[in-house]
Amino acid sequence: MGRGTATSVRRRAVVIAVAAGALALAGCAPGSPAASPTGSGEVDLKLTSDKITIKIQDESGFPVSGDLAAEFTKQHPNVTFKIVRDSFQNLTANAPRLLAGADAPDLIRLPTMGDTVKDGLLTNLDPYFKGYGWDKFPAGQLAASRMSAEGVRGEGSLYQMGLGYSVTGIYVNEKYAEQLGLSGTPATIAELEEWMAKAKAAKILPVQIGMQDGVGTFALQALINQYGDKSDLVDWMFNKPGATFATEAGLKGSTVFKKWADAGYFPPDVNAINYTTMVSNFHAGKGLLMFDGNWDAAGTDKAMGQGAARFFLAPPATAGGPYVAMGAANSFAIPAKAKHADATAFFLNWIHTDPKARQIVVDVTGASPGGDPSQAMPEGKEGSLTEQVLEASAKVGSDDGFVDFMANTTAGIYAGAFQPDEQKLLTRRMEPKAFVDSIQEYYVKELAGS
Protein backbone atom coordinates (compact mmCIF):
# COMPACT_ATOMS: atom_id res chain seq x y z
CA MET A 1 0.00 0.00 0.00
CA GLY A 2 1.46 3.38 -1.01
CA ARG A 3 1.87 6.17 1.50
CA GLY A 4 -0.74 8.32 -0.22
CA THR A 5 -3.29 5.51 -0.06
CA ALA A 6 -2.52 4.82 3.59
CA THR A 7 -2.87 8.49 4.39
CA SER A 8 -6.29 8.73 2.78
CA VAL A 9 -7.43 5.61 4.62
CA ARG A 10 -6.33 7.10 7.93
CA ARG A 11 -8.16 10.32 7.13
CA ARG A 12 -11.39 8.49 6.32
CA ALA A 13 -11.05 6.35 9.44
CA VAL A 14 -10.83 9.34 11.73
CA VAL A 15 -13.79 10.99 10.03
CA ILE A 16 -15.75 7.81 10.75
CA ALA A 17 -14.68 8.07 14.39
CA VAL A 18 -16.11 11.54 14.66
CA ALA A 19 -19.33 10.66 12.88
CA ALA A 20 -20.01 7.23 14.31
CA GLY A 21 -18.23 7.40 17.63
CA ALA A 22 -19.76 10.64 18.70
CA LEU A 23 -23.22 9.22 18.08
CA ALA A 24 -22.54 6.60 20.71
CA LEU A 25 -21.50 9.29 23.12
CA ALA A 26 -24.97 10.66 23.22
CA GLY A 27 -27.35 7.87 22.45
CA CYS A 28 -30.09 9.43 20.33
CA ALA A 29 -29.96 13.09 19.44
CA PRO A 30 -33.06 14.98 18.35
CA GLY A 31 -33.63 15.71 14.71
CA SER A 32 -33.73 19.42 15.44
CA PRO A 33 -32.86 21.38 18.56
CA ALA A 34 -35.55 22.79 20.78
CA ALA A 35 -35.59 26.57 20.88
CA SER A 36 -36.00 29.15 23.63
CA PRO A 37 -34.09 29.54 26.94
CA THR A 38 -31.39 32.03 27.87
CA GLY A 39 -29.70 33.92 25.09
CA SER A 40 -31.87 32.68 22.21
CA GLY A 41 -32.85 35.28 19.63
CA GLU A 42 -31.04 37.38 17.03
CA VAL A 43 -27.27 37.18 16.94
CA ASP A 44 -24.50 38.78 14.89
CA LEU A 45 -22.55 36.16 12.95
CA LYS A 46 -19.91 38.63 11.76
CA LEU A 47 -16.86 39.30 13.92
CA THR A 48 -16.79 42.78 15.39
CA SER A 49 -14.17 45.24 14.14
CA ASP A 50 -13.89 46.78 17.62
CA LYS A 51 -10.92 46.05 19.83
CA ILE A 52 -12.09 43.53 22.42
CA THR A 53 -10.65 41.08 24.92
CA ILE A 54 -12.32 37.68 25.22
CA LYS A 55 -11.96 36.24 28.71
CA ILE A 56 -11.60 32.47 29.00
CA GLN A 57 -11.83 30.43 32.21
CA ASP A 58 -10.06 27.14 31.53
CA GLU A 59 -8.59 24.18 33.38
CA SER A 60 -4.93 23.66 34.14
CA GLY A 61 -3.06 21.31 31.83
CA PHE A 62 -5.16 22.19 28.78
CA PRO A 63 -2.89 24.49 26.76
CA VAL A 64 -4.75 24.28 23.46
CA SER A 65 -6.99 27.24 24.32
CA GLY A 66 -3.90 29.43 24.53
CA ASP A 67 -2.53 28.19 21.20
CA LEU A 68 -5.88 28.72 19.52
CA ALA A 69 -6.22 32.18 21.03
CA ALA A 70 -2.77 33.18 19.75
CA GLU A 71 -3.58 32.04 16.21
CA PHE A 72 -6.97 33.77 16.28
CA THR A 73 -5.36 37.05 17.35
CA LYS A 74 -2.80 36.62 14.58
CA GLN A 75 -5.64 36.39 12.06
CA HIS A 76 -7.85 38.97 13.81
CA PRO A 77 -5.56 41.48 15.60
CA ASN A 78 -8.46 43.43 17.09
CA VAL A 79 -9.33 40.47 19.32
CA THR A 80 -7.09 39.53 22.24
CA PHE A 81 -7.62 37.01 25.02
CA LYS A 82 -7.22 36.78 28.77
CA ILE A 83 -7.06 33.17 29.99
CA VAL A 84 -7.40 32.22 33.67
CA ARG A 85 -6.73 28.61 34.69
CA ASP A 86 -7.64 26.46 37.68
CA SER A 87 -7.70 22.75 38.47
CA PHE A 88 -10.44 20.60 36.96
CA GLN A 89 -12.10 19.89 40.31
CA ASN A 90 -12.03 23.55 41.39
CA LEU A 91 -13.40 24.70 38.07
CA THR A 92 -16.19 22.13 38.20
CA ALA A 93 -17.13 23.02 41.77
CA ASN A 94 -16.93 26.80 41.26
CA ALA A 95 -18.56 27.03 37.83
CA PRO A 96 -22.01 28.20 39.07
CA ARG A 97 -20.41 31.01 41.08
CA LEU A 98 -18.20 32.07 38.17
CA LEU A 99 -21.16 32.04 35.79
CA ALA A 100 -23.36 34.07 38.11
CA GLY A 101 -20.70 36.65 38.95
CA ALA A 102 -20.70 40.20 37.66
CA ASP A 103 -17.34 39.56 35.99
CA ALA A 104 -18.32 36.31 34.27
CA PRO A 105 -15.94 35.10 31.55
CA ASP A 106 -16.90 35.02 27.89
CA LEU A 107 -16.03 31.33 27.61
CA ILE A 108 -15.72 28.74 30.36
CA ARG A 109 -14.60 25.13 30.48
CA LEU A 110 -17.78 23.42 31.66
CA PRO A 111 -17.50 19.63 31.89
CA THR A 112 -21.05 19.28 33.17
CA MET A 113 -24.01 21.62 32.96
CA GLY A 114 -25.78 20.60 36.17
CA ASP A 115 -28.42 23.20 37.04
CA THR A 116 -26.78 25.96 35.01
CA VAL A 117 -29.38 25.74 32.24
CA LYS A 118 -32.32 25.71 34.63
CA ASP A 119 -30.80 28.66 36.49
CA GLY A 120 -30.40 30.68 33.29
CA LEU A 121 -26.62 30.91 33.54
CA LEU A 122 -25.73 29.80 30.00
CA THR A 123 -26.21 31.28 26.54
CA ASN A 124 -28.46 29.19 24.33
CA LEU A 125 -26.39 28.40 21.23
CA ASP A 126 -29.31 27.42 18.98
CA PRO A 127 -29.18 30.68 16.96
CA TYR A 128 -25.49 30.08 16.24
CA PHE A 129 -26.23 26.42 15.43
CA LYS A 130 -28.59 27.60 12.72
CA GLY A 131 -26.57 30.60 11.58
CA TYR A 132 -23.21 28.86 11.25
CA GLY A 133 -24.57 25.63 9.81
CA TRP A 134 -23.57 23.40 12.70
CA ASP A 135 -26.36 21.09 11.57
CA LYS A 136 -23.71 19.68 9.20
CA PHE A 137 -21.87 18.29 12.23
CA PRO A 138 -22.70 14.69 13.20
CA ALA A 139 -25.73 15.01 15.49
CA GLY A 140 -24.16 12.88 18.19
CA GLN A 141 -21.07 15.08 18.32
CA LEU A 142 -23.18 17.82 19.90
CA ALA A 143 -25.82 15.72 21.65
CA ALA A 144 -24.02 15.55 25.01
CA SER A 145 -23.91 19.36 24.90
CA ARG A 146 -27.68 19.63 24.75
CA MET A 147 -30.07 19.86 27.66
CA SER A 148 -33.85 19.89 27.82
CA ALA A 149 -35.95 22.18 29.98
CA GLU A 150 -36.44 19.17 32.27
CA GLY A 151 -32.67 18.90 32.81
CA VAL A 152 -32.08 15.78 30.70
CA ARG A 153 -28.80 15.81 28.77
CA GLY A 154 -28.68 14.59 25.19
CA GLU A 155 -31.81 16.42 24.08
CA GLY A 156 -33.12 19.97 23.86
CA SER A 157 -31.16 23.12 23.11
CA LEU A 158 -27.42 23.41 22.55
CA TYR A 159 -25.38 25.02 25.35
CA GLN A 160 -21.81 23.79 24.83
CA MET A 161 -19.20 23.32 22.12
CA GLY A 162 -15.97 21.35 22.16
CA LEU A 163 -12.34 22.32 21.76
CA GLY A 164 -11.35 18.93 20.43
CA TYR A 165 -13.06 15.58 20.90
CA SER A 166 -11.15 13.17 23.08
CA VAL A 167 -10.41 9.48 23.43
CA THR A 168 -8.87 7.72 26.42
CA GLY A 169 -6.73 4.64 26.68
CA ILE A 170 -3.44 3.39 28.09
CA TYR A 171 0.09 4.65 27.56
CA VAL A 172 2.87 2.05 27.82
CA ASN A 173 6.57 2.65 28.42
CA GLU A 174 8.21 0.80 25.51
CA LYS A 175 11.54 0.33 27.29
CA TYR A 176 9.85 -1.58 30.10
CA ALA A 177 7.58 -3.47 27.72
CA GLU A 178 10.59 -4.71 25.77
CA GLN A 179 12.41 -5.57 28.99
CA LEU A 180 9.42 -7.64 30.12
CA GLY A 181 8.90 -9.28 26.73
CA LEU A 182 5.55 -7.57 26.19
CA SER A 183 4.60 -6.85 22.60
CA GLY A 184 1.43 -5.97 20.77
CA THR A 185 -1.57 -5.07 22.89
CA PRO A 186 -3.44 -7.12 25.49
CA ALA A 187 -6.60 -8.65 24.04
CA THR A 188 -8.51 -8.77 27.32
CA ILE A 189 -8.49 -7.27 30.80
CA ALA A 190 -7.07 -10.57 32.04
CA GLU A 191 -4.10 -10.21 29.67
CA LEU A 192 -3.64 -6.62 30.82
CA GLU A 193 -3.47 -7.93 34.38
CA GLU A 194 -0.77 -10.39 33.28
CA TRP A 195 1.26 -7.41 32.09
CA MET A 196 0.82 -5.78 35.49
CA ALA A 197 1.86 -8.95 37.31
CA LYS A 198 5.02 -9.26 35.20
CA ALA A 199 5.95 -5.67 35.93
CA LYS A 200 5.35 -6.15 39.65
CA ALA A 201 7.52 -9.28 39.68
CA ALA A 202 10.31 -7.34 37.94
CA LYS A 203 10.03 -4.54 40.53
CA ILE A 204 8.65 -2.12 37.93
CA LEU A 205 5.61 -0.10 39.01
CA PRO A 206 2.76 -1.59 36.95
CA VAL A 207 0.51 1.47 36.78
CA GLN A 208 1.38 5.13 37.30
CA ILE A 209 -1.81 6.64 38.69
CA GLY A 210 -2.96 9.27 41.17
CA MET A 211 -6.04 9.92 43.26
CA GLN A 212 -5.28 13.19 45.04
CA ASP A 213 -7.48 15.01 42.53
CA GLY A 214 -9.42 11.99 41.29
CA VAL A 215 -7.56 11.41 38.01
CA GLY A 216 -7.54 7.67 38.74
CA THR A 217 -11.20 7.69 37.74
CA PHE A 218 -9.95 7.14 34.18
CA ALA A 219 -8.82 3.64 35.16
CA LEU A 220 -11.98 2.88 37.13
CA GLN A 221 -14.26 3.84 34.27
CA ALA A 222 -12.07 2.00 31.76
CA LEU A 223 -12.97 -1.13 33.73
CA ILE A 224 -16.66 -0.38 34.21
CA ASN A 225 -16.95 0.29 30.47
CA GLN A 226 -16.00 -3.31 29.70
CA TYR A 227 -18.33 -5.13 32.09
CA GLY A 228 -21.81 -4.20 30.95
CA ASP A 229 -24.05 -2.49 28.41
CA LYS A 230 -22.62 0.98 27.92
CA SER A 231 -26.11 2.41 27.47
CA ASP A 232 -26.80 1.79 31.17
CA LEU A 233 -23.87 4.01 32.13
CA VAL A 234 -24.77 6.62 29.50
CA ASP A 235 -28.35 6.80 30.82
CA TRP A 236 -26.98 7.39 34.31
CA MET A 237 -24.55 10.08 33.15
CA PHE A 238 -27.32 11.80 31.20
CA ASN A 239 -29.53 11.76 34.32
CA LYS A 240 -32.26 9.59 32.83
CA PRO A 241 -34.96 8.75 35.42
CA GLY A 242 -34.40 5.39 37.09
CA ALA A 243 -30.76 5.03 36.01
CA THR A 244 -28.27 3.88 38.63
CA PHE A 245 -24.52 3.57 39.13
CA ALA A 246 -25.00 0.51 41.33
CA THR A 247 -25.09 -1.96 38.43
CA GLU A 248 -23.29 -5.27 38.01
CA ALA A 249 -20.80 -3.48 35.76
CA GLY A 250 -20.25 -0.76 38.35
CA LEU A 251 -19.65 -3.30 41.08
CA LYS A 252 -17.39 -5.51 38.96
CA GLY A 253 -15.28 -2.59 37.74
CA SER A 254 -14.92 -1.22 41.26
CA THR A 255 -13.96 -4.66 42.57
CA VAL A 256 -11.19 -5.11 39.98
CA PHE A 257 -9.98 -1.54 40.55
CA LYS A 258 -9.63 -2.25 44.28
CA LYS A 259 -7.97 -5.59 43.52
CA TRP A 260 -5.28 -3.81 41.50
CA ALA A 261 -4.59 -1.45 44.37
CA ASP A 262 -4.50 -4.29 46.91
CA ALA A 263 -2.04 -6.20 44.69
CA GLY A 264 0.40 -3.29 44.77
CA TYR A 265 -0.06 -2.36 41.12
CA PHE A 266 -0.47 1.34 42.04
CA PRO A 267 2.01 3.68 43.78
CA PRO A 268 1.92 3.31 47.57
CA ASP A 269 1.24 7.06 47.86
CA VAL A 270 -1.52 6.99 45.23
CA ASN A 271 -3.72 9.41 47.18
CA ALA A 272 -0.92 12.00 47.27
CA ILE A 273 -0.41 12.00 43.49
CA ASN A 274 -2.33 14.47 41.35
CA TYR A 275 -2.80 14.56 37.60
CA THR A 276 0.26 16.70 36.85
CA THR A 277 2.51 14.55 39.02
CA MET A 278 1.12 11.35 37.51
CA VAL A 279 1.99 12.46 33.99
CA SER A 280 5.43 13.79 34.92
CA ASN A 281 6.15 10.56 36.83
CA PHE A 282 5.30 8.49 33.77
CA HIS A 283 7.45 10.70 31.58
CA ALA A 284 10.30 10.14 34.04
CA GLY A 285 10.02 6.36 33.66
CA LYS A 286 8.03 5.66 36.81
CA GLY A 287 5.57 3.04 35.63
CA LEU A 288 4.86 0.60 32.83
CA LEU A 289 1.32 1.84 32.15
CA MET A 290 -0.71 5.02 32.56
CA PHE A 291 -4.46 5.44 31.99
CA ASP A 292 -4.85 8.81 30.29
CA GLY A 293 -6.21 10.56 27.23
CA ASN A 294 -5.11 11.82 23.85
CA TRP A 295 -4.50 15.33 25.20
CA ASP A 296 -1.16 14.10 26.57
CA ALA A 297 0.00 12.45 23.35
CA ALA A 298 2.07 15.33 21.98
CA GLY A 299 3.50 16.18 25.40
CA THR A 300 4.51 12.58 26.02
CA ASP A 301 6.34 12.37 22.69
CA LYS A 302 8.08 15.64 23.51
CA ALA A 303 9.06 14.57 27.03
CA MET A 304 10.10 10.98 26.29
CA GLY A 305 11.00 11.10 22.62
CA GLN A 306 8.97 9.65 19.77
CA GLY A 307 8.83 5.88 20.03
CA ALA A 308 9.53 5.76 23.77
CA ALA A 309 5.84 5.32 24.56
CA ARG A 310 2.89 3.73 22.82
CA PHE A 311 -0.87 4.17 23.16
CA PHE A 312 -3.56 1.50 23.02
CA LEU A 313 -7.20 1.21 23.99
CA ALA A 314 -8.39 -0.43 27.19
CA PRO A 315 -9.09 -4.03 26.16
CA PRO A 316 -12.53 -5.64 26.39
CA ALA A 317 -13.40 -8.20 29.04
CA THR A 318 -13.75 -10.91 26.38
CA ALA A 319 -11.38 -11.37 23.44
CA GLY A 320 -12.81 -9.96 20.25
CA GLY A 321 -15.31 -7.79 22.07
CA PRO A 322 -15.99 -4.23 20.93
CA TYR A 323 -13.86 -1.35 22.14
CA VAL A 324 -15.54 0.97 24.62
CA ALA A 325 -13.72 4.12 25.71
CA MET A 326 -14.37 7.48 27.24
CA GLY A 327 -14.52 10.15 24.59
CA ALA A 328 -16.25 13.47 24.74
CA ALA A 329 -16.05 17.05 23.68
CA ASN A 330 -13.68 19.12 25.78
CA SER A 331 -16.78 21.18 26.41
CA PHE A 332 -16.98 24.94 26.80
CA ALA A 333 -19.96 27.22 27.29
CA ILE A 334 -20.70 30.90 26.84
CA PRO A 335 -22.12 32.36 30.07
CA ALA A 336 -25.39 34.25 29.86
CA LYS A 337 -23.49 37.22 31.31
CA ALA A 338 -20.71 37.09 28.70
CA LYS A 339 -19.84 40.56 27.41
CA HIS A 340 -18.78 39.29 23.98
CA ALA A 341 -21.08 36.35 23.26
CA ASP A 342 -21.22 36.87 19.49
CA ALA A 343 -17.45 37.18 19.13
CA THR A 344 -16.94 34.14 21.33
CA ALA A 345 -19.37 32.09 19.22
CA PHE A 346 -17.46 33.25 16.13
CA PHE A 347 -14.27 31.98 17.82
CA LEU A 348 -15.89 28.58 18.50
CA ASN A 349 -17.03 28.29 14.90
CA TRP A 350 -13.53 29.27 13.70
CA ILE A 351 -12.01 26.49 15.81
CA HIS A 352 -14.14 23.92 13.97
CA THR A 353 -13.74 25.35 10.46
CA ASP A 354 -10.38 27.12 10.07
CA PRO A 355 -7.68 24.74 8.73
CA LYS A 356 -4.94 26.18 10.96
CA ALA A 357 -7.17 25.98 14.03
CA ARG A 358 -8.10 22.38 13.28
CA GLN A 359 -4.44 21.46 12.87
CA ILE A 360 -3.63 23.12 16.22
CA VAL A 361 -6.28 20.99 17.93
CA VAL A 362 -4.72 17.82 16.51
CA ASP A 363 -1.11 18.86 17.14
CA VAL A 364 -1.62 20.03 20.72
CA THR A 365 -4.27 17.64 22.01
CA GLY A 366 -4.11 14.63 19.74
CA ALA A 367 -7.88 14.97 19.53
CA SER A 368 -10.13 15.09 16.52
CA PRO A 369 -11.17 18.69 15.81
CA GLY A 370 -14.75 17.61 15.12
CA GLY A 371 -16.99 19.66 12.88
CA ASP A 372 -18.38 18.90 9.44
CA PRO A 373 -17.04 15.45 8.46
CA SER A 374 -16.70 16.59 4.85
CA GLN A 375 -13.83 18.86 5.88
CA ALA A 376 -10.27 17.60 5.46
CA MET A 377 -9.02 15.91 8.63
CA PRO A 378 -5.62 17.11 9.90
CA GLU A 379 -3.10 14.35 10.53
CA GLY A 380 -0.60 13.58 13.22
CA LYS A 381 3.08 13.14 12.45
CA GLU A 382 3.78 9.67 11.09
CA GLY A 383 4.77 7.30 13.90
CA SER A 384 3.79 9.77 16.61
CA LEU A 385 1.51 9.18 19.56
CA THR A 386 -0.85 11.71 18.03
CA GLU A 387 -1.22 9.48 14.98
CA GLN A 388 -1.80 6.49 17.28
CA VAL A 389 -4.56 8.15 19.29
CA LEU A 390 -6.33 9.32 16.15
CA GLU A 391 -6.27 5.75 14.85
CA ALA A 392 -7.50 4.51 18.25
CA SER A 393 -10.36 6.97 18.05
CA ALA A 394 -11.29 5.51 14.68
CA LYS A 395 -11.39 2.01 16.19
CA VAL A 396 -13.74 3.09 18.97
CA GLY A 397 -15.89 4.91 16.45
CA SER A 398 -16.18 1.87 14.22
CA ASP A 399 -17.30 -0.16 17.26
CA ASP A 400 -19.83 2.52 18.25
CA GLY A 401 -18.05 2.56 21.58
CA PHE A 402 -17.69 6.12 22.84
CA VAL A 403 -19.14 7.06 26.23
CA ASP A 404 -18.90 10.28 28.21
CA PHE A 405 -16.79 10.69 31.35
CA MET A 406 -18.40 9.72 34.67
CA ALA A 407 -16.82 12.81 36.21
CA ASN A 408 -19.14 14.93 34.04
CA THR A 409 -22.34 13.32 35.33
CA THR A 410 -23.30 16.14 37.72
CA ALA A 411 -21.62 19.35 38.80
CA GLY A 412 -20.51 18.06 42.18
CA ILE A 413 -20.06 14.31 41.83
CA TYR A 414 -16.39 14.34 40.82
CA ALA A 415 -15.09 16.33 43.79
CA GLY A 416 -17.88 15.37 46.17
CA ALA A 417 -18.10 11.61 45.62
CA PHE A 418 -15.72 9.97 43.15
CA GLN A 419 -12.56 11.61 44.42
CA PRO A 420 -12.99 10.98 48.18
CA ASP A 421 -14.65 7.58 47.84
CA GLU A 422 -12.07 6.24 45.39
CA GLN A 423 -9.38 7.33 47.84
CA LYS A 424 -11.05 5.13 50.44
CA LEU A 425 -11.56 2.27 47.98
CA LEU A 426 -7.87 2.19 47.07
CA THR A 427 -6.69 2.23 50.69
CA ARG A 428 -8.92 -0.52 52.10
CA ARG A 429 -11.26 1.89 53.88
CA MET A 430 -14.29 1.11 51.69
CA GLU A 431 -15.58 -2.02 50.00
CA PRO A 432 -16.80 -2.03 46.37
CA LYS A 433 -20.49 -2.50 47.25
CA ALA A 434 -20.39 0.40 49.69
CA PHE A 435 -18.55 2.44 47.07
CA VAL A 436 -21.13 2.08 44.29
CA ASP A 437 -23.97 2.65 46.76
CA SER A 438 -22.28 5.80 48.07
CA ILE A 439 -21.82 7.20 44.56
CA GLN A 440 -25.48 6.55 43.75
CA GLU A 441 -26.63 8.10 47.02
CA TYR A 442 -24.67 11.28 46.29
CA TYR A 443 -26.05 11.36 42.75
CA VAL A 444 -29.67 11.08 43.91
CA LYS A 445 -29.21 13.79 46.53
CA GLU A 446 -27.54 16.17 44.09
CA LEU A 447 -30.22 15.72 41.44
CA ALA A 448 -32.84 16.35 44.13
CA GLY A 449 -31.07 19.56 45.08
CA SER A 450 -30.43 18.46 48.64
Q: Residue 2: how many CB atoms within 10 A of its CB?
A: 7
Identify the pLDDT of residue 228: 94
Integer CA distances (angstroms), 69 to 17, 76, 82, in order: 26, 10, 9
Task: Please give the pLDDT value at position 140.
Answer: 66
pLDDT at 23: 33
pLDDT digit string (tens) for 336-355? 999 999 999 999 999 999 99
Contact between 338 and 344 under an 8 Å Cβ cutoff? The reply is yes
CA 86 to chain centre: 17
Q: Is 385 helix (H, G, I), strand (E, B) or coil?
A: helix
pLDDT value for 323: 95
Residue-level pLDDT at 296: 92
Domains of the chain: 3-166+327-402 (3.40.190.10), 169-321+412-448 (3.40.190.10)
Q: Which stretches within 149-262 are classed as H helix?
A: 174-179, 189-201, 217-224, 230-237, 248-262
- CB neighbours of residue 307 within 10 Å: 11
Of the candidates 442, 404, 447, which has an alpha carbon nearest to the alpha carbon of residue 420?
442
Q: What pLDDT is stored for residue 89 in this prediction? A: 80
For 146-163, the pLDDT digits (tens) are 998 888 888 899 999 999
pTM: 0.74
Q: Which residues of the chain have pLDDT under 70?
A: 1-41, 140, 450
Report the pLDDT value the prediction gives residue 17, as an integer from 0 to 100.
37
